[in-house]
Amino acid sequence: MTGMTSTGNERNLNGNGAPGGNPAPADPSSADPAPPSAVDFPGLLSQTVDLDAVAHNVGAIKKASGARRLMAVVKADGYSQGAVQVACAALAGGADQLGVATLQESLELREALELRGTGATLLAWLWHPDEGLELEAAVASGVQLGIPSEEHLEAAIAAGRRARVVPKITVMADTGLNRSGIQVLGGAFRRAVPALADAHARGEAQVTGVFSHLACADEPGHESIGMQAGRFREAAELLAEAGVGKQLNHLANSPAALTRPDLAFDMVRPGLAVYGLEPIAGRDHGLRAAMRWEARIPLVKPLRKGEAVSYGRTWTADRDTTIALIPCGYADGMLRSASGKFEVAINGVRYPQVGRVCMDQFVVDLGPDAPVRAGDVAVIVGNRPGEPTADELAAAAGTINYEILTAPRGRTRRRHIGGEY
């Protein structure tokens, strides 16, 4: 059985989705300078990251949250945008600390920043007590460690003894996400406090504070937000009562940093918003999307009415048309689940993707008379008005914009634009 048939409608990037015609010119008073396109450097598939946007976003988040300090999360290679470059831009934009997941990430970032003559406090929170040499190296280099259990505390202290330094640690409180951290509910956190306070008092570890993560901050008004905030305050008070003073506590992720200034505590810890994507659908906090994902078209050719496209022949042309090949597949991060449900922009006009996304490529229906040629650039995810967005592609794929931001990989060639950071 065949699936979708062609609509034959390309759409202008004129803000109203009007079909056909020439694209409306951008308003020069409001448009940003055009980012360099994929044709400016070799390769078929490109990712361009605007570091000025990153710096801008850090300032916007800090202002919205009212926080005195901000930790920019640059885990997973800076959400696939380049951890080192993003970190430097975030610091220039006002970030006070940097957050990563693993010890390996922290060590690689620390070394790269030192080579650039840049220093910053780093926190790593996803590690195993048996990581041995990497744990010792992280402690020796001053990386702060997230502590999700008493076993992790013991491992951090032992690594500090071997490295002959006092490890800096931040206690992870599980306040209701029920992922990592020491559970507040049920008393596990309370029972762990004496060991934490004792290590702090004896100089075996420096407890810098407590942090936790919200489960539903992207759903404003969700009852769990207040519940988790209450448990977080309880954890911080337990540490303070045990003699751990001068805490630097943080709970707010991107959505909370932008919408709940009452939860800023001593620092906010945004991830997604640093890269310019909105963590709450429909909100606008003045962020600037940092990423563009583009491809050069290697082939344009005619397709007769009744012919089908790609594996499974799920789309059939309902009239003579023209198709373009886009060299981006699921091996490069394009989600197969979006097949037949998203658009790309070419020369200021949007065209529908048709058929199934393949490992290396997908196909776009240009219509009978589109002025598209091989060598033109297709915008898969853009950051200018009217272009396809990460949110749109996420909706087509049945996922979240976080996944689209981290998607580019494989044969995608990345580069950075903006100021010198």
Q: Respond yes or no: is residue 341 known to be catalytic.
A: no
Please, are residues 281 and 326 in contact by the beta-carbon 8 Å criterion? Answer: no
Options 62, 75, 275, 402, the catalytic residue: 75
Structure tokens, 8? 């034959």
Please, are residues 74 and 83 in contact by the beta-carbon 8 Å criterion? Answer: yes
End-to-end, the C-alpha distance of the chain in Å comes to: 54
Q: What angle do CA 113, 285, 254 make, to 5 degrees?
A: 50
- CA–CA distance, 74 with 86 (Å, rounded to integer): 7
Please, are residues 308 and 3 in contact by the beta-carbon 8 Å criterion? Answer: no
Please, are residues 12 and 348 in contact by the beta-carbon 8 Å criterion? Answer: yes
Options 246, 301, 305, 311, the catalytic residue: 311
Task: Report helix, strand or coil for 395.
Answer: helix
Task: Report helix, strand or coil for 4.
Answer: strand
One-character DSSP codes across 89-144? HHHHTT--EEEESSHHHHHHHHHHHHHTT---EEEE----TT-THHHHHHHHTT-E
Q: What residues contact 221, with CB distance under 8 A and at least 6 apart?
A: none
One-character DSSP codes across 221-251? T-HHHHHHHHHHHHHHHHHHHTT--S---B-
Q: Respond yes or no: is residue 311 known to be catalytic.
A: yes
Task: Report helix, strand or coil for 209.
Answer: strand
Sign of CA dihedral 362, 365, 366, 368: positive
Q: Which one, of 407, 95, 401, lies nearest residue 277 by Cα?
A: 401
Q: Pairing state of beta strands 144-147 and 121-124?
A: parallel
**What is the dihedral angle through the alpha carbons of 4, 402, 61, 220, rounded to the nearest 10 degrees?**
80
Chain center to CA of 349: 27
Which of the residues are catalytic? 75, 311
